[in-house]
Chain A
Amino acid sequence: MKNTITKSSAGKRGDNVRSDCYFEIDLTNSGGIKLEVKSKVASMYGDSIKNQLNEMCKFFGLKNANILLEDYGALPFVIAARFELAVKRMFPSIDKEFLLPFNKNNLAKTTKDRLRRSRLYLPGNEPKFFPNAGLHQPDGIILDLEDSVALSEKDAAQLLVRNALRSIDFYGAERMVRINQLPRGLEDLKFIVPHNVHVILIPKCESAHQVIDVENEVNRLKEENQIEHEIYFMPIIESALGIIKAYEIAAASKNNCALTIGLEDYTADLGTQRTLEGKESFFARSMIVNAAKAAGIQAIDTVFSDVGDMEGLKQSVIEAKSLGFEGKGCIHPRQVPVVHEGFAPTLEEIEKAMKIVLAFEEAEKKGIGVVSLGSKMIDAPVVKRAQKTIHLAVLNNLLNENWKQKQ
């Protein structure tokens, strides 16, 4: 291999680093691979780390180099991502990927209309947050390649997120990735599409074209990698123009599953401040709900950014629900249960829904077309809403799955 760069580094180092590692590779002309491993888990995993690195050197055809590893308890998928990056920063032309085996718990697919009450954002270059995120049972986990990743580490996050999609158990949460703003975001897709990403969040959407561009590239990659299952999109609208084009964006692809909003950028675009009360974004949020419903997809609210204010979060969820939103973004795992509780139906709603569903089923059994409950007519959308309420009630442990048997 001919190369002008002979030194490279990747990863993180320092006293505050946890569950991550740092590599330096120094190419030499002879002497083979020399590993220097400084690891806080050396006595437990020192041999395993050396084996992993030797295997990776062989894979990338690295024959003579001094390699320094400072390891702060990084898991194998992190070591692999950091080392691959150090190699590729030296040899940008290598397009071989070192892929770890797929975690068998990561094979499940998603559906367009699954529950998306909570989606938990994880900074894409912070591996320490990855392994336990799913334990907090958000409906979705977003590995973020966009705003939470420094410009100089975009390449690092791509590899780390790719490895995480394969290795990390999401414990049933929907697997989401927020790509970068287009056109850079199109480059992100090859790191996620082949690895069972469920939903791609498209930030700063201002036109249908952007969604279509993502869709085209995803379809190209799906074909290239022989992927059959659906991958869905959630455009994020974060500007005045985006709000005006909300319906066009929501309807741009049959694979859009939801529409959401980012209020920090939106309020900045308006030249106003984001307040707790949220008057300044009332119009935009209503537009999102309206556009989403018009296009037959879910409307999802923005994040609540004060992680210490659980009461404020609760109020904000109640408000979001009343506007017609079906979910909310979370930036801390402790927000997840509050969000779920907020979107859960009230006891009165459940009671009413049970009556409607039972009356409808009774009528069906008797072959009666028109159902009424008390003095009110029950038509299809009413039944559908009631069934959704029941579904939510069961998910929130407010109703037993076999509630009908107990009636």
Chain B
Amino acid sequence: MKLIKNNIGRLVPTEVNGQRQIPFQGVNKFKPTGNKATPKINSCIDYPEDGNKIVKNLREALKKAGLKDGMTISTHHHLRNGDTLTNILFDTIHAMGVKNIRWFPSASFPIHEHLIKYLEDGTIHHIEGSMNGPLGRFTTEGKMKGVGVLRSHGGRYQSVQDGEVHIDIAVIAAPTADPFGNANGVNGKSASGLIGFALADSEYADKVIVVTDNLVPFPCVPWQIQGNNVDYVVQVDSLGDASKIVSGTTEVTKSPDRLLIAEYVAQFIDEAGIMKNGFSFQAGSGGTNLAFVLYLKERMKAKGVKARFVRGGSTKYLVQLLEEGLTDYILDGQTFDLEGVRSMRENPNHVNTSPFTSYNFHGKGNFASIIDVAVLGATEVDINFNANVVSHSDGYLLHGIGGWQNCLYSKCTILAVPSFRDRIPVIIDEVTTLCGPGELIDVIITERGIAINPKRKDLIQAMKNSSLPIKSIKQIRDEIYSICGSAPAKPKVNKNKVVAVVKWVDGTVLDSVFQIMK
């Protein structure tokens, strides 16, 4: 495998799974030319006039879709850790004797540990999506046949749209659908809120199979997925474990240190002058992220400030902001709890979005860059403000990128992280895996201090008289190294074997993950 140094100094392969790659060229440096991928022209003559596309089971649908060796099969992750459908899908593919599948999920979860046996026996060749938990461990140890490809949510849409990934068969888990294939995620026992991650799949895949455990007569409204893109509909008893699809409630962290970080975040947003009428912010589902929303809310109420929109990961805490009139809209990318699902179903101002509208880098704009402030996490941040979200300092893949890379384009990107976990420093000299270039990361907020990127002279000026503990990032690093005893040693890796690559939002290769040496 030939490796070259890309623009940000990371070693990346020029070819991955037989496809030529463009190394990262710098932020906003690469602009592709040419046309988008074009799906085939279909004719309604080939589909039942009565609109009934139901086939008896998944195996039948896969057979009709022409499943064969080496195909790309996509799934979405709105069922999160309750997703049993994907496991059943690969049980079926395995039973049909088909091999070398490229699995193209929008994310994977611990429940997909079930698929390791199919990675081992060659049913699945490799994963392009995220490699979480056990799948991450399997991949990092060099056991996957192909090279994993990690993309952001926006990058996944971009790769399909640009023709970099051609989906042969999309299998879309739909909490509610009609026989024509219209589908949504807001109704049914497996309701997940929205199913926007399946949008690209429905538009660009050769064959689209909608699988539902709540079949309703035509029309299924709202139709988040349009039946006009769907080939087959399969009815099953259950898509998965509802209690793991959305949590009953999402709870704010009780950790005093995380709460302190969250409080600092809210104070920073307020004192930097970002919190003003008509502003917007991004909030996720992590414990610190939920907590900062509560502290920010107190400040908004005290100052009579109202947001124009909040971008989430919706939870009951965002729903409360909407219902108390503290924001006009929630622009929702995925729904994390039952309150979020209810609100999306009932409130037209709780808007269902997709990676196309929010994050796709190769479109005529996306709204990631309109957002005033995004509060995100990271597993590691280095003294150049570069950050990692996919691996830990031991070199193992553990998380997906999610919308994280895309959100870095907000006007002020804050990473809210503990400065160390147990004896694992988070603020370090150089990230193990680079997922976000430091030039897009503005502020690091830890329980030990807040570091502002020296590039952001405006923020440094705005915070000059703040009571917050503003420090240089090197000061924070030094303090952590002194607590942990020294700088951490780097993981021992096999530099000749790339097990996965990290794509940037424009489709170029930002970094490589190497096989871990045990």
Give A contacts to B, CB under 8 Å: 18-19, 40-48, 52, 72-76, 128, 131-132, 135-136, 169, 332-334, 397
- Which A residues are in CB contact (< 8 Å) with B491? 43-44
CA separation between A72 and B424, bound complex, in Å? 11
Most chain B beta-carbon contacts within 10 A, residue among A42, A48, A72, A332: A48
CB distance from B508 to the nearest CB of A (A): 29
- Which B residues are in CB contact (< 8 Å) with A334? 256, 259
Q: Which 7 A-B pairs have the closest CB atoms?
A: A73-B422, A44-B488, A333-B256, A73-B423, A76-B485, A43-B394, A43-B491
**CB pair B423 A41 closer than 8 Å:** yes
| Residue B28, interface by CB 8 Å | no
Contact partner, A136, options B256, B467, B485, B486, Cβ 8 Å? B256
CA separation between A44 and B486, bound complex, in Å? 10
- Which A residues are in CB contact (< 8 Å) with B492? 43
CB distance from A130 to the nearest CB of B (A): 10
Contact partner, A75, options B257, B479, B485, Cβ 8 Å? B485
CA separation between A136 and B260, bound complex, in Å? 8
**CB pair A43 B489 closer than 8 Å:** yes
| Residue B448, interface by CB 8 Å | yes
CB distance from A71 to the nearest CB of B (A): 8
6 contacts between A and B (CB under 8 A): A43-B395, A44-B489, A45-B489, A73-B424, A128-B422, A333-B257
B446 closest partner in A (C-beta): A135
Segment 426-440 of B: residues with Cβ below 8 Å from A: none
CA separation between A319 and B343, bound complex, in Å? 42
**CB pair A41 B424 closer than 8 Å:** yes
Contact partner, B257, options A40, A41, A46, A132, Cβ 8 Å? A132
**CB pair B485 A135 closer than 8 Å:** no
CB distance from B224 to the nearest CB of A (A): 39
> A44 and B483 in contact (CB under 8 A), knowing A135-B257, A135-B447, A135-B448?
no
B423 closest partner in A (C-beta): A73
Contact partner, B422, options A46, A47, A52, A72, Cβ 8 Å? A72
1/0 per residue, CB under 8 A from A, across B111-143: the answer is 000000000000000000000000000000000
A308 closest partner in B (C-beta): B254
A-B contact sample (17 more), CB < 8 A, given A18-B422, A135-B448: A40-B422, A43-B393, A43-B489, A43-B492, A44-B393, A44-B423, A44-B491, A45-B423, A52-B485, A73-B422, A75-B485, A128-B422, A135-B257, A135-B260, A135-B447, A169-B479, A334-B256
A47 closest partner in B (C-beta): B489
| Residue B98, interface by CB 8 Å | no
**CB pair B423 A19 closer than 8 Å:** yes
CA separation between A18 and B255, bound complex, in Å? 14
B448 closest partner in A (C-beta): A135
CA separation between A131 and B479, bound complex, in Å? 11
**CB pair B486 A48 closer than 8 Å:** yes
- Which B residues are in CB contact (< 8 Å) with A136? 256, 260
- Which A residues are in CB contact (< 8 Å) with B448? 135
- Which B residues are in CB contact (< 8 Å) with A47? 489
Main secondary structure of the interface of B (DSSP, over half): loop
Contact partner, B447, options A46, A72, A132, A169, Cβ 8 Å? A132
CB distance from B427 to the nearest CB of A (A): 14
- Which A residues are in CB contact (< 8 Å) with B484? 45, 75-76
Segment 383-428 of B: residues with Cβ below 8 Å from A: 393-395, 421-424
CB distance from B314 to the nearest CB of A (A): 26
CA separation between A132 and B449, bound complex, in Å? 12
> A46 and B256 in contact (CB under 8 A), knowing A41-B424, A75-B484, A132-B447?
no
- Which B residues are in CB contact (< 8 Å) with A332? 256
Most chain A beta-carbon contacts within 10 A, residue among B394, B422, B423, B489: B423
Segment 240-281 of B: residues with Cβ below 8 Å from A: 256-257, 259-260
Most chain A beta-carbon contacts within 10 A, residue among B467, B484, B485, B486: B485
A103 closest partner in B (C-beta): B482
CA separation between A388 and B277, bound complex, in Å? 40
**CB pair B489 A46 closer than 8 Å:** yes
Most chain A beta-carbon contacts within 10 A, residue among B421, B483, B486: B483
> A44 and B422 in contact (CB under 8 A), knowing A132-B447, A135-B257, A136-B256?
no
CA separation between A6 and B491, bound complex, in Å? 36
A128 closest partner in B (C-beta): B422
> A45 and B483 in contact (CB under 8 A), knowing A19-B422, A40-B422?
no
CB distance from B366 to the nearest CB of A (A): 37
1/0 per residue, CB under 8 A from A, across B340-357: the answer is 000000000000000000
CA separation between A3 and B492, bound complex, in Å? 42
CB distance from A129 to the nearest CB of B (A): 9
B485 closest partner in A (C-beta): A76
**CB pair A131 B424 closer than 8 Å:** no
CB distance from A226 to the nearest CB of B (A): 27
- Which A residues are in CB contact (< 8 Å) with B486? 45, 48
- Which B residues are in CB contact (< 8 Å) with A169? 479, 483
CB distance from A182 to the nearest CB of B (A): 32
B449 closest partner in A (C-beta): A135
**CB pair B257 A45 closer than 8 Å:** no
B469 closest partner in A (C-beta): A135
CA separation between A332 and B259, bound complex, in Å? 12
A137 closest partner in B (C-beta): B260
- Which A residues are in CB contact (< 8 Å) with B260? 135-136, 333
- Which A residues are in CB contact (< 8 Å) with B393? 43-44
- Which A residues are in CB contact (< 8 Å) with B422? 18-19, 40-41, 72-74, 128
B420 closest partner in A (C-beta): A131
- Which A residues are in CB contact (< 8 Å) with B447? 132, 135
CA separation between A334 and B255, bound complex, in Å? 9
A397 closest partner in B (C-beta): B467
**CB pair A45 B256 closer than 8 Å:** no
B395 closest partner in A (C-beta): A43
CA separation between A189 and B455, bound complex, in Å? 52
Most chain A beta-carbon contacts within 10 A, residue among B256, B424, B488: B256
CA separation between A135 and B259, bound complex, in Å? 12
- Which B residues are in CB contact (< 8 Å) with A74? 422-423
- Which B residues are in CB contact (< 8 Å) with A48? 485-486, 489
Most chain A beta-carbon contacts within 10 A, residue among B257, B422, B488: B422
CA separation between A41 and B491, bound complex, in Å? 10
CA separation between A397 and B467, bound complex, in Å? 9
- Which B residues are in CB contact (< 8 Å) with A135? 257, 260, 447-448
- Which A residues are in CB contact (< 8 Å) with B424? 41, 44, 73
**CB pair A73 B483 closer than 8 Å:** no
